[in-house]
Structure formats: structure tokens, C-alpha cells
A and B are shown apart, each in its own frame.
Chain A
Amino acid sequence: MNENLFTPFSTPTILNQPATIPIILFPATLVLTSKHPINNRLATIQQNLIQLTLKQMMMTHNAKGQTWSLMLTSLITFIAMTNLLGLLPYSFTPTTQLSMNLAMAIPLWAGTVMVGLRFKTKNSLAHLLPQGTPTPLIPMLVVIETISLLIQPVALAVRLTANITAGHLLMHLIGNAALALSTANFSLTLLTSTLLTLLTILEIAVALIQAYVFTLLVSLYLHNNT
């Protein structure tokens, strides 16, 4: 039972070759690029969505923060596409792999810290001590703030991994239960409706992408400006 539940999260292989390579590359091919001023509906919708998220995200930054706009837009596009494609049955979601999320979180977080340390050294170091703390508490509070800073990338990665994995697991479990109870007909409707609502709530996986980029954004903003 344990082995059966977790097999969707092991990296897929086709004839012992890693199939993760085309699976990770595939969502990027869904971004439509065209040179025409007026495109078809799908391309226009996609372009408008990207433009909307770009403007919403980058409004709060000054000029220096806006140099990160391409990075953050591609981040949110990549994670959103990957998570939405993972909602299809029998598909593999790369964002369930802790490896990928760590490899995304650590360099980006480190980049924001280094930008802050390089251009506003005193400001970013001053964040380690909140204003108005009584003097005996200062050493302990610096340690606490340093730990909370260092745990940011781990929290980013584990948050994304755990949320997507837990959602997929729940869908598997509830689907299996609904199937097993289909012989006793009266509870089938209740379970399938639960599965359906859980699936729509899981479309809030897209909200998780917002959470990911937003937290990354917040740390960038903090390191850059305040």
C-alpha cells in the first residue's frame, strides 16, 4: 500500500532512460511566441495574462528591482504551467521533486541576499535586529533573525514540494476510495463530489505559485529597498 501510493512521485523512466527531461522541457513549449501584432485568441489570452502578472508583480519595485522582472515572470510561468499540467491524470509533476525546488529556491534567495548585501550593506544587516528591542535581548534576537533568514530557501522549497505532493496524494486516495465504494452505490456520489471539490480547490495550486513568487518577491523587495 505504501509503495503503491508513492510511485507517482518517483522519476519516470522509459526503457531505463530518464523521461523527466522531456517532461520538464514540455511546459516551456506551451508559451506561444509570434511576431504578428494581432494573434489568435489563445496567443492573445496568454500574452495578456503574462503582461498582467508582469505589471502586478513589478509595480512595487523600484528600478533596480525591476531588472529582475524577466526572471520572476519566467519563474511564475514555469511553476504555474508545471503545476497545472500535473493535475491531469497519470501525469508527472516535476515540482513534487525536492531536488528541483531546492535548486530553484537556493540560488534565487542567495541572489536576493547578495544584492542586498552588496548595494545596501548597512540596511540589509540592520534587518537582523528589529527596532526597539531592549538591550539584553539583542544577541538572542540577532541569532533568531539570522536563523529565520537562513531558513527562507528551505521553507520555499519544502513548501512547494509538500503542498503539491500532498494534494496529489489526496486525490489518489480519494479516487481509490471512491472506486472501492462504487459497489455500494449510495456513498459514491458523496465521495465523487468530495473529489471534485478537492480538485477545484487544488486548482489553487496556482495560488501556490503566487505564494512562491510572492515570498521570493517579498524578500527581494526587502533586501532592495527598505
Chain B
Amino acid sequence: MPQLDTSTWFTTIMTMLPTLYLITQLKLLNTNHYQPPLTKNSNLQSHSIRWQPKWTKTCLPLSQPQQS
């Protein structure tokens, strides 16, 4: 059986050791497991149905010509 030929055992074992204990573990450490982003709770109570005049003034910067 060629598996029992011990001349190659040293090479195989010495290659396996860094592969298993170093490279694979480093690769697994470098995977980032991100949590799915939490959806923002939109508070529906604070939305008013009609436009409030003070909001319109701040939201439209082009409507205030005095500041240039």
C-alpha cells in the first residue's frame, strides 16, 4: 500500500499542519459575520397629514432668498 511508505510522511504532515492550524483558521477569522441591518421604527404618529408652514420654510432652501 503506498500510504504506508513513510518517506513522504514528513512532507505531508508538515504541509498539513500550517494549512489546518494557520491558513484555514486565519481565513475563517477574517470572515465578518454582519448582522442584518435593523429596520428603523418609523413613528407614524408624528406625521401630520397636512403641510405645516414652518416645515416648508426649512425644507426648501431656495425659498429663502435673504440668505445668500
Contact = CB atoms under 8 A, between A and B. Distances in A.
Interface of A: 6-7, 9-11, 18, 20-21, 24-25, 28, 31-35, 37, 47, 50-51, 70-71, 73-75, 77-78, 94, 96-100, 103-104, 161, 165
Contacts of A71: 25
Contacts of A70: 25, 28-29
| Size class of the B contact interface (CB-based, 8 Å) | 20 to 34
A10 B2 contact: yes
B24 A78 contact: yes
Contacts of B33: 47, 51
8 contacts: A11-B12, A20-B15, A28-B23, A50-B31, A74-B24, A75-B20, A99-B13, A165-B3
A31 B11 CA distance: 23
A103 B24 contact: no
Contacts of B15: 20-21, 24-25
B3 A7 contact: no
Nearest to B10: A99
A6 B2 contact: yes
A50 to B, nearest CB: 7
Interface of B: 1-6, 8-9, 11-13, 15-17, 19-21, 23-25, 27-34
Contact of A161 (B3, B5, B20): B3
Contact of A99 (B12, B21, B28): B12
B28 A35 contact: no
Given A20-B11, A35-B32, A77-B24, A94 B3 contact: no
Given A33-B30, A78-B19, A94 B12 contact: yes
A142 B37 CA distance: 55
A7 B2 contact: yes
Nearest to B2: A10
Given A31-B24, A99-B8, A24 B2 contact: no
A152 to B, nearest CB: 19
Given A20-B12, A96-B3, A78 B27 contact: no
A94 B19 CA distance: 12
Contact of B9 (A6, A34, A99): A99
A100 B12 contact: yes
B12 A24 contact: yes
Contacts of A31: 24, 27-28, 31
A100 B31 contact: no
Given A20-B8, A28-B19, A28-B27, 8 more contacts: A9-B3, A25-B15, A25-B19, A28-B23, A47-B31, A51-B33, A74-B20, A99-B6
